[in-house]
Amino acid sequence: MDKKVGVKILGTGSYFPKKILTNADLEKTVDTSDEWISARTGIRERRISENNEPTSELAYKASIDALESAGIKSEQIDLILVATTTPDMLCPSTACFLQMKLGLTFAPAFDISAACSGFIYGISVAKAFIESGLYKTILLVGAEELSKVTDWTDRSTCVLFGDGAGAMILSVSQENDDVLSVVLGANGLYSDLLFLPAGGTAHPATTETVNKKMHTIKMRGREVFKVAVSKMALAAVKALELSGKKRKDIKLFIPHQANMRIIEAVAKKMGIPMDKIFVNIHKTGNISTATTITALDEAVKTGKLQKGDLVELVAFGGGFTWGATVIRV
């Protein structure tokens, strides 16, 4: 019988739009304050994409960065996956736009929709494809432009979100297995706590849906908060168990960057000191599927993670969905 193949992570990359929107800027447009936003969320600023800069453009720039870090040519990619909640269009997929931008006309491409947990879901899809032998080298991207589905008059949501993209290249390996474990979960019963009501088939876009701003994010923040803490902690503990590793073996925990208080509560629940938790929410805000991968890329680029280190990613999002993975960088 053939030896089971493993997954090697060849490289990561990221890209953020240039424009910065600070809490002070928001103070001028909605009834809020830097003090409230910083204290309740940990967010100080977020990046905002241009009107002529769709999600696939951020995905493209993050992919180029990841290809450089992996030291491979784009032609070596044989599958493209884009996790996103804010696609360029409902159809075609953002992955197809990215494929076109990369000039890879033969690599199959599709989107993964699992809200903020999309990148973790993507790691599991990539791992399964590689282990099955169907594809050898996969480009996995988490890219979002939440600024374009935000109601900028709703202070309870508009202070939270931002734009950005991260990418990872995963490849087949006979020696390594850099994805030690993945745990996924979902519960559609919570679908009305965090959702984007219109623009799909339940509420096709009409003048009325636009006037009622039904194409923007709706959220019951306090209820989301509670479930997020419990599901993220559960998933992180389970993924650690499945990996066969202990907390002390993990160099860095990278939780979904949704709210500093959620991050602190998850760390407390898991008994992990804050110096082992990576945080960059103050400068990014919540960028949904892109949070864990852009944070991972920053940790690598700033030397917080070295080659061979173990890291655990954990995320939670609309659906609800959640997931955690232990990987080796």
Interface contacts to ligand COA, rule CB under 6 A: 32, 36-37, 40-41, 116, 155-156, 159, 219, 221-222, 224-225, 228, 258-259, 262, 286, 316-317
Cα gap 144→148, rounded to integer Å: 9
Residue 256 a catalytic site member: yes
Question: Which of 33/76 has CB closer to ligand COA?
Answer: 33
> Does residue 308 come out as left (phi exceeding 0), alpha (psi in the -120 to 50 range) or beta?
left
Question: Which of 70/116 has CB closer to ligand COA?
Answer: 116
According to DSSP, the residues that pair with 142 across neighbouring strands are 83, 166
Shortest Cβ 222–ligand COA spacing (Å): 4
Please report how many Cα atoms fall inside a 13 Å half-sphere around the Cα of residue 176, on the Cβ side: 17
Token pair, residue 56, equals: 């696939």
| Helix/strand/coil for 21 | strand
Contact 158, 37 (CB under 8 A): no
Residue 286 a catalytic site member: yes
Shortest Cβ 53–ligand COA spacing (Å): 23
- Closest residue to ligand COA, Cβ-based? 221
Tell me whether the omega of the peptide bond preceding residue 106 falls within 30 degrees of 0, making it cis. Answer: no
Q: Show the CA angle centred on residue 147, arms to residues 145 and 153, nearest 5°.
A: 160
> One of 23, 96, 256, 259 is an active-site residue; which one?
256
Residue 96 a catalytic site member: no
Shortest Cβ 265–ligand COA spacing (Å): 11
Shortest Cβ 294–ligand COA spacing (Å): 15
> One of 96, 116, 158, 259 is an active-site residue; which one?
116
Question: Which of 171/286 has CB closer to ligand COA?
Answer: 286
Q: Please list the active-site residues.
A: 116, 256, 286
